[in-house]
Structure 1
Amino acid sequence: MEADTEIPSSSSSGWKYDVFLSYEREETENINFASKLCAFLEKTNLKTLKDDEPMKAGEHISPMLMQRIKESRCAIIIFSRNYASSIGCLEELTLTMECRKKLGQKVFPVFLMGVKPSEVRHQKGSFEEPFRFYQEHFEPEVVEGWRSALRAAGEISGWNMNDLPHGDEEKLIAKMVKEVSNLLLDDGLVAERWEQFWQGVISSLLICRDLMPAVISDGP
């Protein structure tokens, strides 16, 4: 992804998704976690963007996905041990952090087992080896852009599976969904959607009432 990606102003940008999920799409563990999280979010009536297309090594994210990321109100970054091995994930993260700065997109990191926030911030642990490769094969400004995005994301308060007893996945997911729902409710987005829903229900009831035969309302 190029460094000068154009981001529309918040006044001209409409949110089409509640949550975007960024995750590495090769490892079964990551796919399963993202799928469970997506299912929980959608049960809570949150429209979730989860791209299921596997990205090959060195593959860039598509213009369509870039646009959809910009149209997402929140982003959850699922940091797994091999997240930094995916150029596509790093591009998603970089764009997400730009959207956070320019559009007010909310960003929440979640650290899966074996990943510490400090390793994300400083590209250590499983994040170190991929960056040795990038440093040798990519332009310095591109690599620095990825590093900067990781530093910023690693500083954000999020969720850490390593802090839960036995790494309880379902407990963590339930906590995440509750907090994201509360955030969107505070922003008025969920409340607005429910108001529209009930307006639709009331309108349907009124139409049904108007269609009822007069004899029903008159009684015997």
Structure 2
Amino acid sequence: MTTALFPPAPVSTWLVPLDDTADGVVASLGLARPEGAPASWLDADERARAARLHDATDRHRWLVSHVALRLLLGAALEVHPSAVSVVREACPRCGGPHGRPALGPSAGRPLRFSLSRSGGHALIALRRGLDVGVDLETATAGTPSPAAPATDGLARWVRTEALLKSTGEGLTRDPDAVALRPTAPGVWSEHVEGDDAAGPELVGPAPTVADLALPSPLVAAVAGPGLDRARVRVHLPATAAA
């Protein structure tokens, strides 16, 4: 199961329907159902965060997205979803324990992940050994995205968000200060005009951003050091055979 689900592609991404049941998501990911109730696969912090969401639809979608994340991490690590330890890195601005999520030291494998939600879908990216960031938005004809200044800037916003997630900066860095330029069809890199415009100094290859081809009206991108679009694998939800 693990070999088929996680081929030797540098980055694998999964589109997850969030208005389904947890068991439906298990099937859509093509996984065997782990033992126990889906709520028991989450940790106490995840359950508490979900409980603070007052809207029932938002709460359900948040829970399903994190169930899907744990399912994929558990499959990649070959452990039960409840055994996956998720921690927070240090914030790049203040050093507090509220930076991007990462696997705890007990995982023992260099696996990075990123999760983005928009409406009734989530997009999850996994990458072995190198950082990864993903962003997903839903385009609405004639209506600006709540996150982007205007609809025609949605693709740029998604690329920028993916880039900042991949570096761990997130919105601690002003997205408007990020300038991207195309380096290949569907591939982008940050254009830095001077040392003062650059983000934090990075070790290893610079992050690049790749557009993802998803069903309309979804717009998405994935980013990471030395990322090659040709070797990014996109998994769409599996459908039951007729």
Give the helix-richer structure, 1 or 2: 1
Fold-level match, TM-score > 0.5?
A: no
TM-score by length of 1: 0.25
TM-score by length of 2: 0.23
